[in-house]
Every structure is written in structure tokens, then in C-alpha cells.
Amino acid sequence: MATAKTVFVLFGATGDLARRMVLPAFYTLAIEGLLPPGWALIGNGRGDVAHEDFRKHVHDALVEFGPHPDQGPWREFERRLYFAGGGFDTDSPGSLLDVIGHVRRELGPRPELVHYLAVPPQAFPGLTRALGQHGLAEGARVVYEKPYGTSPKNFRSLNRIVHTVLDESQVYRIDHFLGKEATQNLHVLRFANELFAANWHRDHIESVQIDVPETLGVADRAAFYDATGAVLDMLVTHLFQVAAEVAMEPPASLGAADLQSARERVIRSFRPLDPAEVVLGQFDGYRDVKGIAARSRTDTYVAAKLWIDNARWKGVPFLLRTGKRMAAGEQRVTLVLRTPPRPLKGLPAQANALTFSLAGDGQIELRLLAKKPGVELQVEPATVTLPLAELPDAEPLPPYVRLIHDVLLGDRSLFTRPDGLSAAWRAVQPILDAPPRLARYPQGSWGPAAARKLAAPHGWLLGQ
């Protein structure tokens, strides 16, 4: 349950992630009236930034990325913003303890503490230890950005450190793809409609495509990206998690514990990736981007064929693809239904498909074959779409807004657990140990040509 008084401590408050995503999400919560009655947000960083300067930084971030300050209660919002400089580590808390003390006197005794780590993953261990060292961990909720670890070994080390300081119930590992409206509609469409529930099985589904091409480059976060790449930034995080949402067995309920258990259980059935079924790429010109190493071998593209070894999905390929500087920007999950063998002959392949667009407020699209009106029996493809934002009284929330609100409520159902993450790292381990040869691809293309073979015999529904 949300408490009446909450102090948010935003580590990395002047960084790119906070500016683009986290700060706009907090302001949206204020506009929607979803923040507790008593709250404060304390930004933390190494610099000695005055409260007034931090408020201007937040204002400028909202002007650039929205919602615009004029669209909400900016004057009331800004007076609750503070900054604690001097860094924060086990040796020194900087000014954070002093600022928290001041805010506690303003709000009253014992507000809930929520720590949000909008920092690179290598900073997680030190900040976690410092929370324990300086008495800020007890009873707090702690949000970790992705990737939660940078390798299987690093994940295990981080997980041990986190659990020496925090109970698992305090930990919120965020993956914003789980906060998308259309991702959650994967559950509802399937479990609330027998038409789809009965066919959510290998007997009826030929393949699943999870496709997240991006037109964006990496100039705004070059240093982070060059140390991470597409496999760590997208595959082992977003794409694996969405695959689990599609593939999970029906949970006992949609409560947090049951939903998490169903999601993590199916990830344990992910077969370790075969490097021969993975294509890695780097777009032409990547090494010319400021901040990128001259001989960088970082992957900006990955396409992989994932197999799930359980009774429901055995033999059904899950085709996962993402990349930077591609021909289009999309976020799609498509279940391709099998083509009926009779009585109609010569039906086109991949014509029966159920697609969830995860972009924006989300959309569900059903592709099917229908008789073309007329004397002749001619079959033509048809498409029915349902924009989720157009449902009556729809009030969609952006993913970060939804997930931060869930942290306030103490609802962990859309956050990842360590057992599932451990299985995800195990599945990706083979391509970390023996990465496929990096292929170059032109900017504005659909990636390396070798990826077409992964989707044979029919092909990717997007682009190629």
C-alpha cells in the first residue's frame, strides 16, 4: 500500500535516463494526482548543485521531454525538489543524510524511503552497500534499472550484495517493457477470451516474432552503450521478458506472487541460445560516433532464435530482433498461426497473425483471411485493429509512470525476480562465451542479411 509520506531519492538525478524518463514520470504522477499527500524528491550526484539549480534542471528536462511544466502544478511540484551533492558511497554520504533529515522535519516523522538507482549497472554494488552503511536501507524500497548485472558472474555477485543489505521484498528490478499497456494486454486477451486461450499452443502457433527495430542511434549515451551493446541492453532484458509474458503458463491469479512465479518458471525452460542461431551486427559509422572506441566490437544489432523446452512451446521458434539505426522504429509481438491444411489450397503463409504493438498506448491487430465479396471464391487478407487508448474511459499511463506508481503501492508483479534473471543469463551465456562474428549493416536497413535465414522458410513480418 502507498504511504501518506514518501521521500524519493533519485541517484543519477542529472543523468540522461533521469532526464528523459524518470523525472517526466514523476511529474506525470503529480499531474494525475497519484503521488502521496506528503512527498519530496531528492536528487543525488557528485556535483555541488543548489536546490534552485536542480529545480531549473528538472524544469528544462520537462520542457524538452514533457509533460511541459505549464501542463501541471509546477509551482507546487518544484518546491518539493531538493538536491544532495557530494556523491554517496560507503566512505561518505555527501550531503544526502543532511538533506533527508531536513525533508523529514518538513514532512513529519518516518516517511517511506524509495531509492531509485538511475545509474550505470557498475554503480549498483557500491550504492547498495552505502545504503546499508548509512542506515538508509531498513524498510526502504529500492529500484534498480536494467541491466541488472553485466554478465552471469557479475549478476550473481550483485545479487549476493543486494541480499546482504535488502530483503527481496524491498527490491524492484525495473524493465519498462513490462509496464507497457499492450504487454499487460497479452495476459488479458489470452486469459479473458477462450478464442485465444484455446489456441495459445504449439498445435496452432507456427512461430512468435518479437521485433524491436529502432531508428535511433547512440550519440546521447555513447559511453554507456559501448560498454553494453544490444545483447545486454535489449535481448537479455526486454526481449526475454516479453517472450516470457507470451509463453508463461496460466498463473493461479494475476497477483504479484503468482504472476512472477509463472513468468520466472517459463524462463527456466529457455534453451541456451545456439551461437549458430544468433546474428550480431554493428551499423556502419558506429565507430565514428563521439565517445565510441575506434576499434569497438560492440553489437548494435542482435537477432536470435529462441526455443522454449516445455510441452506448450516445444518446436515453436521465438524470433527475437532489435537494432539501432534500422529502417523503422517498431515494438511488436506477433503470434503467427499455422496455415490450415484443408479444404482451401494455396493459402498464403503467415496470413493469420495476432500482433500486439507495444509502442505508445498500445494496439492489438488481428490479421486473417476472408472471402472477397463477389461471384468467385477469392481469399484476401484482412486486418482488424484495436487501439487500446480508444477503449471507453481509457486512461493509459506511460510505462515508467505505471511502474513507479506500482513501487509506491508496493506492487512487485511487473518487476523481475532473481531466479528468472539467473535463468535468462544462463540462456544467453553461450553467445557471451563464443559471440558470433560481428556483421556490418548499412544505416537505415533491416540489419545484416544473415538474419533472414533465422526466419526461414517464410521470413520476418517486418522489412524482410
Residues 230 and 300 in one domain: yes
Residue 380 lies in a domain: yes
Q: Are 446 and 463 in contact (CB under 8 A)?
A: yes
14 is in an annotated binding site: yes
Residue 459 lies in a domain: no
Residue 425 lies in a domain: no
Length, in residues, of the chain: 464
Give the phi and the psi of residue 356 in degrees, each rounded to 5.
-110, 115
pLDDT at position 395 is: 77
Maximum Cα–Cα distance for the chain, whole Å?
Answer: 83
Residues 29 and 97 in one domain: yes
Kindly report the three-state secondary structure assignment for every residue of the chain: CCCCEEEEEEECCCCHHHHHHHHHHHHHHHHCCCCCCEEEEEEECCCCCCHHHHHHHHHHHHHHHCCCHHHCCHHHHHCCEEEECCCCCCCCCCCHHHHHHHHHHHHCCCCEEEEEECCCHHHHHHHHHHHHHCCCCCCCEEEECCCCCCCHHHHHHHHHHHHHHCCHHHEEECCHHHHCHHHHHHHHHHHHCHHHHCCCCCCCEEEEEEEEECCCCCHHHHHHHHCCHHHHHHHHHHHHHHHHHHHCCCCCCCCHHHHHHHHHHHHCCECCCCHHHEEEEEECCHHHCCCCCCCCCCCCEEEEEECECCCCCCCCCEEEEEECCECCCCCEEEEEECCCCCCCCCCCCCCCEEEEECCCCCEEEEEEEEECCCCCCCEEEEEEEEEHHHCCCCCCCCHHHHHHHHHHHCCCCCCECHHHHHHHHHHHHHHHHCCCCEEEECCCECCCCCHHHHCCCCCCCCCC
Residue 411 lies in a domain: no
CA of 36: how far to CAs of 385, 407, 415, in Å? 37, 12, 21
Tens of pLDDT along 66-123? Answer: 999 999 999 999 999 999 999 999 999 999 999 999 999 999 888 999 999 999 889 9
Residues 187 and 304 in one domain: yes
Residues 183 and 139 in one domain: no
Residues 199 and 320 in one domain: yes
138 is in an annotated binding site: no
Residue 444 lies in a domain: yes
Residue type, 46: R
Grid coordinates given for 84: 544532495
19 is in an annotated binding site: yes
46 is in an annotated binding site: yes
pLDDT at position 183 is: 87
Q: What range does the domain containing 102 cover?
A: 5-145
362 is in an annotated binding site: no
52 is in an annotated binding site: no
pLDDT at position 432 is: 95
Of 145, 165, 188, the residue at which a domain comes to its end is: 145
Residue 27 lies in a domain: yes
Residue 426 lies in a domain: no
Residue 314 lies in a domain: yes
Grid coordinates given for 443: 544505416
pLDDT at position 184 is: 84
CATH number of the domain encompassing residue 15: 3.40.50.720
Residues 41 and 188 in one domain: no
180 is in an annotated binding site: yes
The C-alpha cell 538511475 sits at 118
Cβ neighbors of 340 (< 8 A, separation 6 or more) are 347
Residues 329 and 443 in one domain: yes
128 is in an annotated binding site: no
Q: What is the pLDDT along the chain (464 residues), one digit of tens a residue?
A: 556 899 999 999 999 899 999 999 999 999 999 999 999 999 999 988 999 999 999 999 999 999 999 999 999 999 999 999 999 999 999 999 999 999 999 998 889 999 999 998 899 999 999 999 999 999 999 999 988 988 999 999 999 999 999 999 999 999 998 998 888 888 888 999 998 999 999 999 999 999 999 999 998 789 889 989 999 999 999 999 999 999 999 999 888 889 999 999 999 999 999 999 999 999 999 999 999 999 999 999 999 999 999 999 999 999 999 999 999 999 999 999 998 887 888 788 888 999 999 988 889 999 998 888 877 788 888 899 989 888 787 778 899 999 999 999 999 999 999 999 999 999 999 999 999 999 999 999 999 999 999 998 889 999 86
Kindly report the three-state secondary structure assignment for every residue of 405-457: HHHHHCCCCCCECHHHHHHHHHHHHHHHHCCCCEEEECCCECCCCCHHHHCCC
Residues 237 and 369 in one domain: yes
Give catalytic status of residue 238 as yes or no: yes
Residues 191 and 113 in one domain: no
CATH number of the domain encompassing residue 198: 3.30.360.10
pTM given for the model: 0.92
Count Cα atoms within 13 angstroms, Cβ side, for 199. 16
Domain count, the chain: 2
Determine how many CB atoms are found less than 10 A away from the CB of residue 345: 6
Residues 83 and 227 in one domain: no
Q: What whole-number distance in Å separates Cα of residue 458 and Cα of residue 207?
A: 10
Of 145, 162, 197, the residue at which a domain comes to its end is: 145
Residues 276 and 320 in one domain: yes
Catalytic residue among 57, 238, 405, 458: 238
146 is in an annotated binding site: yes
Residues 379 and 311 in one domain: yes
